Structure 1
């Protein structure tokens, strides 16, 4: 597996940091990983590498604007910041790297962005996997965010995040808090049109003990996408299935790709 770090210009003064995991791909789709609201490349740990090795696919892991060493993002965040990332910036990144066919793997905010990207990119997306994606601000989402505000200072979360985000940590944390606790943002969230446009096979995963989302997040996403989507609820698992139960998630995704994509697409495998 060849690992290459990239700084990719996307126009309009924006540059994003990315990591490419490459092997003998033979024109197969590329796994694209979209991180959570406080994540970056490093916080995925070994999961992208393990999934790439298990599937034999190349992978791309990147940091959105405002994260890691990518360009700054405009603050405060606009109400449509999730849509912008899926509609504008991810397609630009794929075009810049000349990546045509992809399988999107998104966690939390990254899962929500992956839903938008799957709708926008059409048949370029051969598969969609989300973990703890959210399409509205439910009571668990808001309670979890409010509790994190306390934990950020009282339980050392700030110091842990500074290892990954450095001097950006406070700005990044408050950007996340401020937008999700904004009542105007909460009222504006509406993913119905994006879900209806998704045509690829989709696996929508959530931990049964997810502290940031109710089970209806999954069922509404699946209903919105239609028959090509399937729900997966993981027992004894919280908000980060890929970190809390990595072996189980790897098996789930490999089985999903084998059954839903490999057997149905002449362009895969």
Structure 2
């Protein structure tokens, strides 16, 4: 199972959840920080992410990483576990690479841009400028400005309002477990219900008392649901 972190995440920000999950499943896990995050190579100061930044992670970076690690996805296709932006990357990978994907678990993925999500991202920008959020992110990123502004500026870039992968995800052939908290401040339930309408082999999990990070807010319920889902296949 390959873990794909959120838009401000990193390897360390998962804490011990990946280990808990793969121990429960009896599987192996791969956790990494994408370029610009964690201890990976920071984004150049002049580099602005483009509208296709998640597509490039799915279609170029992740396949290159698997090859570099000697993982032959044609022979042993991985499961992908993606959170937020990482969930969108997982969906895009599976839509392109059918035989190289065994299954997906996506938490709070984005398939389109919603106004309420943008308002939350604007509030996060203000928090980065006015509070200790930068110091908190510095515990997990060698260059917190690289991680934060790369993510924040592209999401608030006006043309990004039209971003959508709704037309692409219908090509997904593997099983999908799509999870969202009922109190998610970055997306409505339309994000996962839209997946289910286009990918009929999707199971939905809508969690009460849960925000944007089900693996932090409801870890036990999530691990149980993933285990049940995997056993059915």
Q: Could you state the TM-score of these two structures normalised by the residue count of structure 1?
A: 0.81
| Aligned residue in 2 for 1:34 | 4
| Aligned residue in 2 for 1:186 | 161
8 A contact 1:137–1:186 mirrored in 2: yes
Q: 2:149 aligns with which of 174, 192, 205?
A: 174
Say whether residues 1:80 and 2:55 are aligned partners: no
Say whether residues 1:252 and 2:228 are aligned partners: no
Q: CA RMSD in A?
A: 1.3
Instruction: List gaps (5 residues or longer) in structure 2.
Output: none
Q: 2:98 aligns with which of 81, 105, 122?
A: 122
8 A contact 2:106–2:179 mirrored in 1: yes
8 A contact 1:91–1:121 mirrored in 2: no
Secondary structure class of the residue paired with 1:165: coil
Secondary structure class of the residue paired with 1:124: coil
| Aligned residue in 2 for 1:206 | 180
Deviations 1:85-137 (A, max 9, x none): 00111111112222221010000010010000111221221110000101121
Deviations 1:174-217 (A, max 9, x none): 12111111111222x12134201100000110000000001111
Secondary structure class of the residue paired with 2:179: strand
Q: How does 1:1-269 map to 2 (within 5 A)?
A: 31-73=1-43, 75-99=47-71, 100=73, 101-166=77-142, 168-187=143-162, 189-225=163-199, 227-259=200-232, 261=233
Q: Number of aligned pairs?
A: 227
8 A contact 1:36–1:108 mirrored in 2: yes
Higher relative contact order (CA 8 A, sep 6+): 2
C-alpha separation in 2, matches of 1:245 and 1:105: 16
Which has more radius of gyration?
1
The CA deviation at 1:161 is 0.4
C-alpha separation in 2, matches of 1:108 and 1:247: 19
C-alpha separation in 2, matches of 1:171 and 1:98: 29
- Greater share of residues in strand: 1
